[in-house]
Chains A and B, each alone.
Chain A
Amino acid sequence: MGNEYEVYRTTTLGLALQETLDEFIQSNQISDKWGKRMFQEYDKSISKIFSSKVNNKITFKSKLDTYRNCDNVWTLLFQGIEITIQNSPAIKLESNQNVKIVACEAKSDKKSKNQNFDD
């Protein structure tokens, strides 16, 4: 429980699932409820995968064009970006290219977030 954000549904993998489910639902092979359930499973799996299979740190530098915080969801629009990835070539986008970031508040399921209590 805890980290099942729906926000990962708009990624490549999530969208592929969305399209697949749409086709199956529209052709009446499965019901809408299965679509929802599959997405819930997807949310769970994708959230877990980070702690088990992804372990790389990146740093980036950019220019912030606009920002919004609504319901503890930050939406940021960057102009250009330079991303340094461990063991990979850096990614650089010029400032005429926009990068959008949608970030939900991280919840730690086991311990309280010490960062927020930083005095």
Chain B
Amino acid sequence: MSAQSSENSVKKIYQTVIDEVIDNIREAFLDEGHDDSLLQDLKQMWENKLNSSRAVQNGDEHSEPSLRLPTHKEPPKGVGQEMKPGLDPATRAAFQALPHSLYSGQDVSLKLKKHLGAQVDGGVDGSSSDEDEDETDLVGGIPGDEDDDDDKNDEPSECEGKEDSDPLNSEDDLTEPGSPNSNVDLFDTEHVIVCQYDKITRIKNKWKFHLKDGIMNINGKDYLFSKANGDAEW
């Protein structure tokens, strides 16, 4: 099945990266007096973590949830404290997005939404200055909040709740433990695409995206692309 073969090629690509990184660091590592076996251990652990996090695909997701959820309870550890100072804003943004896409979506969505709101305080560029004032509103509030008035209106009662805490998270509440949808949690509902953009344009509310060199994590699986073109309506 082509899905599986693209999965395999993703693994191969990752393995290539691992090999290259290890090889490139080896000389300096050894020069500093470190043992090559240490480097081997490091490489091995890296590979193991990679394999245990996403390679158990194609039906195996249910069998080892514990493997994927050891740090389920401690999202802040992975997100806040391990980040070295001086990370560029992209990484910061992406870190908030994808700390535990491998694990559960719920806590992540919660923290993500809070961070999305808190992170940008005034740096929003003039993306849509003509008709909508949403840009400014985006800055102060939680994204999605303001949009409900214009576009969605499908869940007005959710709107109220949205203004308080966990606004966006309330929509994602498929992940209540014990609910029939709780295993959705294990399928990491946090889908993320990390990439570069060649061009992003907009005419009224029709957006066009020209992206490249991306890594997507969707439904727990990784996909890579060299070019992505897309349309979206806002």
Chain A residues within 8 Å of chain B by Cβ, number? 83
Chain B: number of interface residues, binned into ranges: 35 or more
Interface residues in A52-84 by Cβ distance below 8 A to B read 53-71, 73-78, 81, 83
Interface residues in A15-41 by Cβ distance below 8 A to B read 15-24, 29-30, 34, 36-38, 41
In the complex, the answer to whether B17 meets A12 with C-beta atoms within 8 Å is no
The residues of A that contact B20 with a CB separation of less than 8 Å are 41, 45
Asked if B25 is at the interface (CB within 8 A of a chain A CB), the reply is yes
In the complex, the answer to whether A104 meets B197 with C-beta atoms within 8 Å is yes
Interface bits B142-154 vs A (CB < 8 Å: 1, else 0): 0110010000000
In the complex, the answer to whether B2 meets A113 with C-beta atoms within 8 Å is no
The residues of A that contact B182 with a CB separation of less than 8 Å are none
Asked if A112 is at the interface (CB within 8 A of a chain B CB), the reply is no
Query: Considering only CB atoms, which chain A residue lies closest to B17 in the complex?
Result: A45
Interface bits B197-234 vs A (CB < 8 Å: 1, else 0): 11110000001011111111111001111111111111
Interface SS of A by simple majority: mixed
Interface residues in B72-112 by Cβ distance below 8 A to A read 78, 82, 84, 87-91, 93-95, 97-99, 101-102, 109, 112
**Known A30-B42, A97-B189; contact A59-B87, beta-carbon cutoff 8 A:** no
In the complex, the answer to whether B116 meets A34 with C-beta atoms within 8 Å is no
Asked if A105 is at the interface (CB within 8 A of a chain B CB), the reply is yes
Interface residues in B140-187 by Cβ distance below 8 A to A read 143-144, 147, 168, 171-172, 174
CB distance from B89 to the nearest CB of A (A): 5
Asked if B67 is at the interface (CB within 8 A of a chain A CB), the reply is no
Asked if B131 is at the interface (CB within 8 A of a chain A CB), the reply is no
Determine which of B82, B215, B229 lies in contact with A11 in the assembled complex, contact meaning CB atoms within 8 Å. Answer: B215
Query: Considering only CB atoms, which chain B residue lies closest to A113 in the complex?
Result: B198
User: In whole angstroms, what is the CA distance A4 to B199 when docked?
Assistant: 19
User: In whole angstroms, what is the CA distance A107 to B205 when docked?
Assistant: 27
User: In whole angstroms, what is the CA distance A102 to B191 when docked?
Assistant: 11
**Known A102-B90, A106-B212; contact A57-B144, beta-carbon cutoff 8 A:** no
The residues of A that contact B94 with a CB separation of less than 8 Å are 7, 9-10, 102
In the complex, the answer to whether A10 meets B99 with C-beta atoms within 8 Å is yes
The residues of B that contact A46 with a CB separation of less than 8 Å are 17
Interface residues in A79-109 by Cβ distance below 8 A to B read 81, 83, 85, 87-89, 91, 93, 96-107
In the complex, the answer to whether A49 meets B16 with C-beta atoms within 8 Å is yes
In the complex, the answer to whether A23 meets B45 with C-beta atoms within 8 Å is yes
User: In whole angstroms, what is the CA distance A99 to B18 when docked?
Assistant: 27
In the complex, the answer to whether A12 meets B53 with C-beta atoms within 8 Å is yes
Most chain A CB within 10 A, of B17, B41, B120, B174, is at B17
In the complex, the answer to whether A57 meets B226 with C-beta atoms within 8 Å is yes
CB distance from A90 to the nearest CB of B (A): 10
Q: Which residue numbers of A lie inside 8 Å of B, CB to CB?
A: 3, 5-13, 15-24, 29-30, 34, 36-38, 41-42, 44-47, 49-51, 53-71, 73-78, 81, 83, 85, 87-89, 91, 93, 96-107, 113, 115-116
3 closest A-B pairs (Cβ-Cβ)?
Answer: A66-B143, A60-B230, A16-B49
